[in-house]
Structure 1
Amino acid sequence: MAAIRGGEALSSLCCRRSGITARRSFSSSSARKNYDDTVQNLRIGKHTRVIYQGFTGRVATGNARDSIAYGTNIVGGVTPGKEGEHLGLPLLPNLRKAKEQLNPDATAVFVAAPQCAKAIEDAIEAEIPLIVAVAEHIPLHDIMRQVTSILKTQSKSRLVGANAPGIIAPIGYCRIGFQPLPTFAPGHIGIAAKSGTLSYEAVASVTRAGLGQSLCIGMGGDIIAGTNLVDSLKVFESDPETEGIILIGEIGGRAEVDAAEWIKEYHARERNPKPIAAILGGTTAPSGKIMGHAGAWTARGERTATEKYKILQDVGVTMVEHPENFGETMKSLLAKTGRDPKKIQQDATNQKRSYHTGNRRPLAEMQRRARAAQQQRRKLVLKAAQGPGVLEPYLDEVQGVSISTEAAPKDGFYISVTVDRTERQPALATAPTSDPTQLRNRIQRFPYTWLEGPPRSTVDAAVQHMQLSSAPPQAKTQIASLLQSLAKMYKDKEAVTLASSISLTSEGNIQLHQPSFLLQFDDSAFKSLKRQQDIFALRQKETEQAEEVEAEKDGIVYVRLEDPEANIGTLVNGAGLAMNTVDALRQHGGRATNFLDTGGKATADTVKKSFELILRDPRVKVIFVNIFGGLTDGGMIADGVLLAFKEVDMKGVPVVVRIRGTNEEVGQKRIAESGLGLDAFDGFEEAAKRVVELAGGRRMNGLAELSYKARR
């Protein structure tokens, strides 16, 4: 990407069909007035000047080395208080000096969660055009206070993340993030994703199909994302290098619904629109559970994954059930829209070059790094019975309001303070009903800025939406005061959602109904920065699912699925892939007993513990290990699986292992030839069929080694 100098961008895009590789550039326009206008900053390429924040840290150093070897134009970095050289590049003590001396187009923020929000804020203030934040567990309220409040008031900087793999332009060999480089290939398919592991699977499929990728944008799995699916679509629409588009969504938020609305308008205005395919993870996810990612849960009033699937399908998006299908699906769609897949494949082939990484880390080192990056729950939901003790200090400010222990009547109302993910702000949310079956279509959100709190006009609009025309004036006044008090508590206690059903007493006063309480808090504030200790002291682990609590200690996310017909245990690395595994098994006639995400890196320790957790469920007749080796290689993963398998009493339960990704053939071979009776597979469909066959009680046909050799 051309560097921005003197406020002007070098804006040359050469036509690739003339054989010249395109140069991407930031677009600069005097008409820019808000954050939405920064989407073109996502168009990175070979000439993008990249710096690192936290440059001398171990993770940043290793990442920078790999990115430089890939071809990324890294020009230096920043570590507070240090100056000199690092990796042979300039090392500066602050962003001000980096901006003046290095003139960066983008910064990779490799800073730990407790300091990351401040690091992003510093980058915004320095007007770095593109900011990529990979850190997980940044407190939600830090993001709303320090990041999104500032982003919405400026038009210079664009954020990708946080909790995202980053952004990569294979066509320009520019990586800003931690994507597994051997999986990517230059080409002409744009990919935008909430899930890292699902995006890597999609990339592998597209690479196998010979189409390659033009630009891949990781939206990230946090509750609030700096860049969403619509932002990505806007870039792909105008990018001459992108011929087809892939979207990867999941439960939680309305990013996919917003995308569908944009696609509908795009199809209406474009004579020959670029084909779009998509996948939705979590169509079988249980309500009220967080599925690995901080944002992977469906709030009241939000569409389920199944509903979002249908909404996308209805606007002309081709839906796939598993990411390994994207390559062939996209080839078919390109042909149907008059684009020549063979020409695109040939063009992609001409742009390929080899990428070699000779610094594969030993298994012990991968295990150590994975343990150091253990996952966190990312939410605490208090029991309804605990609600009065937490709420009463704030309800004391509202005269006449009481709490009832009875269930809310159907003619009641709903109030909440929550987060509006699309607006990237907190919001009041109200509905003229308390009937759970009607809430989804009748809740309306009223966003406000975190710094200022809800103004009176926003409160009045929220109250008006409740349709209280027959209520006495005092009730409306009480509700307005109640919303203000809840907004104060929301900020003070760093909540995610505070909600309750309410009704009118015979005296015309407001009462809250304790059974309807939803008091949800972001535990990253506690675990990353030790804030809100009083709230998190209320957690009652003894009332939670024992396996889920135990899994948490090892950095594993385990969710028991209460399906009496389920008999397939699942072990997967990555939240998005784990959700899709459960969904796709259902498509093949199988039912999973659990969701289990070992984290981005499966190790011997996590796999061993995962087997133990799965085998505690007496329903389990077969275990499906579905691993995509993106950030590690398949050989290392196979070693971890085999070691764990030997140390756990498997109780005669058969195991099917699918390994894809980096060094996948080595991993598959080691599994198949282990002598442990394991089935090794490359494709999901054949693996799923085998799992369902075993779950039905059929005997294994022949040795795994022979079945592996037959498939080769």
Structure 2
Amino acid sequence: MLLRQVHCPRKPSSLGATRRFSTTSPLFLYRDTIQNLKIGSHTRVIFQGFTGKQATANAVESRAWGTNIVGGVTPGREGVHPVLQDLPVYPTVRSAVDNLKPDATGIYVAAHQAAGAIEEAIEAEIPLIVAVAEHIPLHDMLRIHSMLKSQSKCRLVGANAPGIISPLGHCRIGFQPLPAFSPGHIGVVAKSGTLSYETVASLTRAGLGQSLCIGMGGDVVAGTDFVDALRVFERDEDTHGIIIVGEVGGMAEEEAAEWISSYHQNTPNPKPIAALVAGKIIKPGYVMGHAGAWAGRGENSADEKYRILRDAGAVMVDHPSQFGRVMEKLMGSKESQPQPKPMKSRRQYHTNALSSGFLRPSAGTALPHFDQSQRQERRALHYQERQASAMLESEYNVSTVRPPASASPRNAWILSLTIDRSKREPCFLLMDANPESTEPPRRIPVDRNSTGIIHTALGFSDVELPELVQLLFALENIFYKYEAVAVEIHVALTNDGGTRLWIYDPRITFDDAAFRSCGRHEALHASRKVSREVIDPAELDAEKDGIVYVKLGDQDDPSYNIGTLVNGAGLAMNTVDALALPPHNANAANFLDTGGKATSETVKKSFALLLRDKRVKVVFVNIFGGLTLGDMIARGILLAFGELGLEERGIPVVVRIRGTNEEEGQRVLRESGLGIWAFDGFDEAAAKCVELAKAREEEERDN
């Protein structure tokens, strides 16, 4: 029986009517477009949103570096670019394609416009589409992926990705910090932008450059995944070594491990592969910055992913700064490497330290009233439980009960309509509710056969099929109508000899990007306060400023004493992970991601959040800039010192700034006259944090 599809709402103004796209032959699949990832000096690039401030700045820099930008698109405009006056601007993607014959497009538009822009690029059959925007609603991207899977012309990188860059071919489609990159023979694929920057900087310092770096991105579903990238690297003669940078969430790392294992078995002289997995220390039920950085039902932890990749033959590291040394050893002689100019290496400097025992630093449709300028750049999973029961009862006549005492774990199941991240589509997920069960969850496609498959798998042979049909119909309609990430219930049979199906513990998990980016489902978002969700007030305050802040550990445990302030979700996760590992063996009090577009004001507000946690004895600022500028971060730190009274509070601050404008940022701190410990290397900075935190605890005990 085929369940009725309820399509997610979309804005007619941004997405338009349904468009046609190429379906050349069923023999050609989306996976056959991976060759489109091999960019270089030959790649003709256009920008969508070409005359916007961000696109203009990026185009000027990328073009000066060597990227072959041939023009772009801005709806309603035609002529030449106001800054790049030798480059044409077209009002539509189709007219740009007809005139410029591009090989790739970089999409530089806001999240609420991005899905429509991607759809236009697919319709125009541009071979490579790079989407950098964060916070594109999940269901918009599911629709895009259903289009991509039915054609063989276009390949998507992203969304929520730094893009793709070929240092060998001097082609950048994204916002990667160019000083970190150098031409060479190592291919890099990463979920996290900031961790990929750390990775390539480590390689460059070791005298090892990069052939091609692909940003998989941190969304729930990605246009290009690890296996896609590995297939490119395997065939690419310019790539002699490979790096994978993963994180918690999804199964892309496990699929990469399976590919690596097969590659090693079937290849006489395999290219060396090293890897990292961030997110070993997380707070269950929370999104750790990236939209996809959370472990769903039946998914492995970051620790388990680490082990699986290691067992498959990847050489594992705990921090991206280690990749240079590891790959230098794996690659052997560097004589075949184009020799890049080494990045400048600095040791610590300390400005104006005082002489005390520790450092005293001196559902619906678009809402007409929704103001896009007030969008919050925060993404989270929200859980609704009472609301879920009410929806099932009132809208679909599905009765829920309290967890029945007669339902033992052995005859209870968890049934969910959620996302199959690997197949980039919705699926039913069925798993034994017994926590001791070793049976893996089963993912069942949403199609005409799903009802029968689920009925058989449950083993509830006496349950009438219409009862299950009604339940699945309700789950599917709620999933699409409210743009959910998952709609979950428990099911069990009565133990009294009857055949009644108990339905209990319903739960909706929804991604709030549809509301925050596009203004949809305002009522559902407002009802968040009636859920069981318990959030620290500081975490809620952080959301208002676009900051992702998650408290870690027992709130009464003083060992969680290092406050972390980081730009980028992957780097923030790895900072927390690396602090906990030997030789530091320390506990971060929090995860804090300022976001990829942090400002001085954001940094000041981040400091204010950290200082609300009385456990914090030292603040560790770890920044690697792409869009975030090092000098801007430095000025934010100085702003925090002045307005928050850090000097009077006597809280040490350790800063590590790398990436864009790092020299200027370090100069600002050095010349500030304030007591700030600044470092170039992570391990030195982390060791100083541990030292200062212990010193401050000792002084507090003495006083």
| TM-score bin, normalised by smaller chain | 0.7 to 0.9
Contact 1:672 1:679 in 2 (8 A): no
Contact 1:694 1:700 in 2 (8 A): no
Q: Who is 2:18 aligned against?
A: none
Partners in 1 of 2:471 and 2:375 — Cα distance?
A: 40
Contact 1:276 1:318 in 2 (8 A): yes
Partners in 2 of 1:192 and 1:442 — Cα distance?
A: 28
* 1:696 partner SS: helix
Q: Aligned to 1:467, which of 419, 434, 459?
A: 459
Q: Who is 2:300 aligned against?
A: 303
Partners in 2 of 1:666 and 1:138 — Cα distance?
A: 33
Pair 1:241–1:697, CA change in 2 (3 A)? same
What's the CA shift for 1:182?
1.8
Pair 1:670–1:249, CA change in 2 (3 A)? same
Q: Aligned to 2:475, which of 483, 486, 501?
A: 486
TM-score, normalised via structure 1 length: 0.85
Q: Aligned to 2:383, which of 381, 401, 406?
A: 381
Q: Deviations over 1:68-98 (max 9, x none)?
A: 1111111111222322211221222222222
1:582 paired to 2:576: yes
What's the CA shift for 1:551?
0.5
Contact 2:175 2:626 in 1 (8 A): no
What's the CA shift for 1:395?
3.7
Q: Deviations over 1:122-148 (max 9, x none)?
A: 111111100001111111111112x11
Contact 1:601 1:631 in 2 (8 A): yes
What's the CA shift for 1:575?
0.7
Pair 1:641–1:372, CA change in 2 (3 A)? farther
Partners in 2 of 1:652 and 1:141 — Cα distance?
A: 48
1:635 paired to 2:637: no
* 2:541 partner SS: helix
What's the CA shift for 1:630?
2.9
Partners in 2 of 1:570 and 1:193 — Cα distance?
A: 22
Q: Who is 1:568 aligned against?
A: 562
Q: Who is 1:684 aligned against?
A: 682
1:656 paired to 2:654: yes
Q: Aligned to 2:541, which of 543, 550, 564?
A: 550
Contact 2:617 2:697 in 1 (8 A): no
Select between 98-107 and 594-603 the one with higher mean Cα deviation: 594-603
Contact 1:253 1:421 in 2 (8 A): yes
Select between 256-265 and 663-672 the one with higher mean Cα deviation: 663-672
What's the CA shift for 1:571?
0.8
Partners in 1 of 2:565 and 2:548 — Cα distance?
A: 10
Q: Deviations over 1:155-201 (max 9, x none)?
A: 11000011111101011110111111122111111110100111111
> Counterpart of 1:537 in structure 2: which amino acid?
A
Select between 134-143 and 634-643 the one with higher mean Cα deviation: 634-643
What's the CA shift for 1:427?
0.5
Pair 1:633–1:527, CA change in 2 (3 A)? closer
Q: State the aligned residue count.
A: 632
Contact 2:50 2:56 in 1 (8 A): yes
Gaps in structure 2 of 5+ consecutive residues: 1-23, 345-372
What's the CA shift for 1:288?
1.2
Partners in 1 of 2:692 and 2:375 — Cα distance?
A: 35
Q: Deviations over 1:399-443 (max 9, x none)?
A: xx5322557631211100000111000111112x2123437x421
Q: Who is 1:425 aligned against?
A: 425
> Counterpart of 1:426 in structure 2: which amino acid?
P
What's the CA shift for 1:663?
4.0
Partners in 2 of 1:209 and 1:353 — Cα distance?
A: 9
* 1:611 partner SS: helix
> Counterpart of 2:448 in structure 1: which amino acid?
R
1:240 paired to 2:240: no
What's the CA shift for 1:668?
3.4
> For residues 193-232 of structure 1, what are the structure 2 equivalents within 5 Å?
193-232=190-229
Partners in 2 of 1:577 and 1:324 — Cα distance?
A: 11
Contact 1:409 1:434 in 2 (8 A): no
Partners in 1 of 2:230 and 2:389 — Cα distance?
A: 45
> Counterpart of 1:416 in structure 2: which amino acid?
S
Pair 1:238–1:278, CA change in 2 (3 A)? same
* 2:527 partner SS: coil
Contact 1:263 1:315 in 2 (8 A): yes
* 1:446 partner SS: strand
* 1:550 partner SS: helix
> Counterpart of 1:435 in structure 2: which amino acid?
N
> Counterpart of 2:75 in structure 1: which amino acid?
P
TM-score, normalised via structure 2 length: 0.86
1:278 paired to 2:275: yes
Select between 618-627 and 669-678 the one with higher mean Cα deviation: 669-678
Pair 1:663–1:79, CA change in 2 (3 A)? closer
Pair 1:173–1:141, CA change in 2 (3 A)? same
Q: Percent identity?
A: 55
Q: Aligned to 1:55, which of 42, 50, 53?
A: 50
1:315 paired to 2:312: yes
Partners in 1 of 2:375 and 2:276 — Cα distance?
A: 28
Partners in 2 of 1:590 and 1:622 — Cα distance?
A: 12
Q: Who is 1:151 aligned against?
A: 148
Q: Deviations over 1:2-59 (max 9, x none)?
A: xxxxxxxxxxxxxxxxxxxxxxxxxxx9996100000010000001001111212222
Contact 2:463 2:500 in 1 (8 A): no
* 2:524 partner SS: helix
Contact 2:205 2:343 in 1 (8 A): no
Contact 2:566 2:621 in 1 (8 A): yes
Partners in 1 of 2:73 and 2:297 — Cα distance?
A: 42
> Counterpart of 1:178 in structure 2: which amino acid?
F
> Counterpart of 1:463 in structure 2: which amino acid?
H
> Counterpart of 1:567 in structure 2: which amino acid?
N
Contact 1:183 1:630 in 2 (8 A): no
